[in-house]
Structure 1
């Protein structure tokens, strides 16, 4: 749980063709173990603070430009944010020691339910005093904690939140040091109007937001849909094409899944790492070029779909072709390793 210019992608159909061509011409003969980010494409890795993230940061260091440290949420009444944990600060220190930038990700997850909460976001966004308390907390993390910027990951919003979100972003920009970055995660929408309906008035937000991370995953998942790609190429390209009618390509990072989902014939499925998916699938693994993901049907009927190193490589090449700022990966601790191509 995100940078445009001359290379801006303006024609949706051309973008789809480019993505599918890149997917189909990948040279990997089987499930790849290390993604390759091409020169000129920025790479941000999401990290949930802990020992696994520290190890992944070390292994991915050559490819990383920025670490997005996740885990700080709005309080339940929307009037503040908890301070960074010691684990988060350790990850921040590790990122800086490797000369990487680090953004603090703040979200509207309701910890009691484990879901993004519009109610919590609305309590914060609709109250000027709550906005100021939250902004003061984030500014303290940047100015005293040492973060290089903030990423806003507010999801499950609606159009009713859009004006207040613009106000919050503007007030945050005015408060943070000029050198501090502000990025924003966007849930993928397949039309321009869909972004506004999801609470993102991008025409106004561009005045305060440096970079948008398009969360091009969540198309399918075992907890909410039938089996299908985690974030297939046609769906991701449709969301990207809609976004690029609203913001410059140079301000967009294409956020890619580093995980998969399982759909058993009985009982509940779940999230699975690429390594686990490969182990379970074995020779049943099938690369679907049109989607840029792997799938398998196990002997017991369980269906797997997963996005791995090869999936990220395809999307990173497509991001370069489309003139995007870069790619992001959720999340480095469980995804395949990443290097520079």
Structure 2
């Protein structure tokens, strides 16, 4: 199974606050690999990817930043996904976060590889509560090191309370001091040959959104859904628009030609 964010097709919808009838339609763009083409897409954000390959080292970006239409923006995803295992390595990210020298090396590399991108999306998944303080330190250092006009985005796996986030290594309140935007991922990532697993149905996702928006302003949150986990583009757009979220990120391995029509 391919990685649900890196190297696969995704959709980002930049939503107009309020989501009411008569508002301009959301901007929808399609993710490409760095060697691909985005010439046929009129959009706002493109996502590409690089991986943590050792506690103090990132793998190379597969090509350079993609060529974008005029006015479009690019967002670089960095993750602890290991193709050889088909999943995220919490141990690898934990080793990096626990070592200040390794954190510094990865931060320096990431700033360099992110040159030319408008945003960096950090997806360190499979963490634990013991990693939360070090993750805050990492994001603080990365935010300081990135250019002021490069947004820092963090992927978090959805929960409905403080304990659920802290169990996964996310101290949302502390992270919010350093992160410009959060991706609220509403599904467990794919593992080996298993598809992404839904955390909840649409009703449960509303509760997850309600909790995070009680901690973070809605316009700093992108909703992450996947058709492979039961929530597709149309339902995801409805949920995000009703909550006045910033945008929508859709993992669409199964729907490479997905289109979104706002209601």
Structure-2-length-normalised TM-score: 0.80
Give me the whole-angstrom Cα distance separating, in 2, the residues matched to 1:178 and 1:186: 23
Shift in CA distance, 157/218, structure 1 to aligned 2, threshold 3 Å: closer
Q: Secondary structure at the match of 1:338?
A: coil
Give me the whole-angstrom Cα distance separating, in 2, the residues matched to 1:331 and 1:101: 20
Q: Secondary structure at the match of 1:327?
A: strand
Cα contact 2:228–2:252 (8 A) shared by 1:
no
In the alignment, which residue of structure 1 is the partner of 2:202? 233
In the alignment, which residue of structure 1 is the partner of 2:185? 215
Cα drift, residue 240 of structure 1: 1.6
Cα contact 1:44–1:68 (8 A) shared by 2:
no
Cα drift, residue 340 of structure 1: 5.9
Cα contact 1:47–1:330 (8 A) shared by 2:
no
CA offsets, 1:291-332, max 9 Å, x none? xxxxxxxxxxxxxxx54xxx4223323322212111112147
1:181 aligns with 2:160: no
1:336 aligns with 2:257: yes
Q: Which runs of structure 1 show a deviation greater than 6 angstroms over 4 or more consecutive aligned residues? A: 219-222
Determine which structure has more spread, i.e. the larger CA radius of gyration: 1
Question: Larger relative contact order (C-alpha < 8 A, sep ≥ 6)?
Answer: 1
Cα contact 1:213–1:252 (8 A) shared by 2:
yes
In terms of fraction of residues, the more helix-rich structure is 1
In the alignment, which residue of structure 2 is the partner of 1:193? 163
Aligned residue pairs: how many? 245
1:73 aligns with 2:51: yes
1:39 aligns with 2:11: no
Cα contact 2:76–2:121 (8 A) shared by 1:
yes
Shift in CA distance, 209/49, structure 1 to aligned 2, threshold 3 Å: same
In the alignment, which residue of structure 1 is the partner of 2:228? 260
Shift in CA distance, 98/139, structure 1 to aligned 2, threshold 3 Å: same
In the alignment, which residue of structure 2 is the partner of 1:83? 60
Q: Which runs of 5+ in 1 are unaligned?
A: 8-37, 262-305
